[in-house]
């Protein structure tokens, strides 16, 4: 587990970069779920997702140590965050994305000054390519999730949640590679061990569920899910033990449940949330979270979705 002191250090380091995102409520969501729900708006974060927290912590540290070229592997959101903070720091960024990466996310990476390289469909293909580029160019590899500095940065969202939601009893968080979930676990469980932390991933990209069931990291093949930011092929070496040892529960949600959560958030909360960011609400709306009568923080982890894709879901 990453120490709370490291998360607090990260909070100080990235304070001038990130937004302290708002917490919102929806009476319709409360009625539908039988809980008192607080939506943590990381979709309103700078670059459109929570990823800027970990990326800023890692990149700013690397820049202080002399790094002048950042290299990342990302389905989109992490790449946007690395490209943004690299640009703000006056250095180069190369982002390796999947062949079928969201056009909206690729366009955003390029708008921040990042150079895009396409490779494969899975993180197992993207990460070796990014490491190769970093090795050949002398760049600094910025992992999407499997790194203590990244996890510490993501953990700042957990600190904010407990400060913003008095008496919080549970946190529901999306799980892809596990960086956000691990960071929130490290912050929340050290600040208040009684708070439940429930992870959510797509049924069709359930590498964490399979790994937890087996007690070890399980690699799955290429996956297809509307929640493209959660399409990892294997949990991280650093993140998995944290999830295995401290996560209270992990549930999976169907593609239709994810889309319905996006529609619900748009219709009743007036929020545009990407599918990856809406899985927490999907778990609550479907009843799969197992929570009832609780004060719950649901993390909306991102909002980077194209107009066309969002319109199709609606």
Nearest-angstrom CA–CA distance, 163 and 61: 26
What confidence tens digit (pLDDT) does each residue in 212-266 have? 999 999 999 778 899 988 988 899 999 999 999 999 999 999 999 999 999 999 9
Helix (H, G, I), strand (E, B) or coil at 88: helix
Cβ-in-10-Å burial (0-12, 13-18, 19+) of 281 comes to: buried
What confidence tens digit (pLDDT) does each residue in 46-93 have? 999 999 999 999 999 999 999 999 999 987 889 999 999 999 999 999
The answer to whether domain 4-48+147-313 and domain 51-141 are alike in fold is yes
Nearest-angstrom CA–CA distance, 54 and 84: 12
Q: What's 4-48+147-313's CATH class?
A: alpha beta
Q: Which fold has domain 51-141?
A: Rossmann fold (3.40.50)
Bridge-based pairing state of the strands 23-24 and 36-41:
antiparallel
Contact 229, 180 (CB under 8 A): no
What amino acid positions are annotated as catalytic residues? 51, 301
**Which segments of 163-286 are extended strands (E)?**
170-174, 196-202, 249-253
Partners of 296 in the β-ladder: 37, 170
What confidence tens digit (pLDDT) does each residue in 267-297 have? 999 999 999 999 999 999 999 999 999 999 9
Domain ranges of the chain: 4-48+147-313, 51-141
């Amino acid at each position: 587990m990453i120490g709370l002191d490291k998360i607090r250090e990260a909070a100080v380091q990235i304070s001038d970069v990130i937004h302290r995102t708002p917490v919102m409520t929806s009476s319709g969501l409360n009625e539908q779920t039988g809980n008192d729900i607080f939506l943590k708006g990381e979709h309103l974060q700078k670059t459109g997702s929570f990823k800027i927290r970990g990326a800023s912590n890692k990149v700013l540290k690397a820049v202080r140590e002399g790094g002048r070229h950042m290299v990342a592997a990302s389905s989109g959101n992490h790449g946007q965050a690395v490209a943004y903070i690299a640009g703000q720091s006056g250095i180069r960024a190369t982002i390796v994305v999947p062949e079928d990466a969201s056009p909206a996310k690729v366009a955003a990476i390029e708008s921040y000054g990042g150079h895009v390289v396409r490779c494969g469909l899975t993180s197992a293909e993207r990460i070796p390519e990014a490491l190769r580029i970093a090795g050949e160019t002398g760049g600094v590899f910025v992992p999407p999730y499997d790194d203590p500095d990244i996890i510490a940065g993501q953990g700042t969202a957990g600190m904010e949640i407990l400060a913003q939601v008095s008496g919080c009893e549970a946190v529901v968080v999306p799980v892809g590679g596990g960086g956000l979930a691990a960071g929130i676990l490290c912050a929340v469980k050290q600040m208040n061990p009684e708070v439940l932390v429930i992870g959510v991933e797509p049924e069709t990209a359930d590498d964490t569920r399979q790994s937890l069931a087996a007690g070890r990291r399980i690699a799955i093949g290429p996956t297809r899910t509307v929640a493209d930011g959660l399409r990892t092929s294997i949990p991280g070496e650093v993140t998995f033990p944290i999830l295995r040892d401290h996560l209270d529960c992990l549930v999976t949600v169907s593609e239709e449940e994810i889309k319905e959560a996006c529609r619900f958030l748009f219709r009743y909360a007036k929020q545009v949330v990407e599918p990856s960011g809406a899985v927490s609400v999907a778990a609550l709306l479907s009843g799969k979270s197992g929570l009832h009568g609780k004060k719950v923080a649901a993390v909306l982890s991102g909002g980077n979705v194209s107009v066309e894709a969002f319109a199709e879901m609606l």
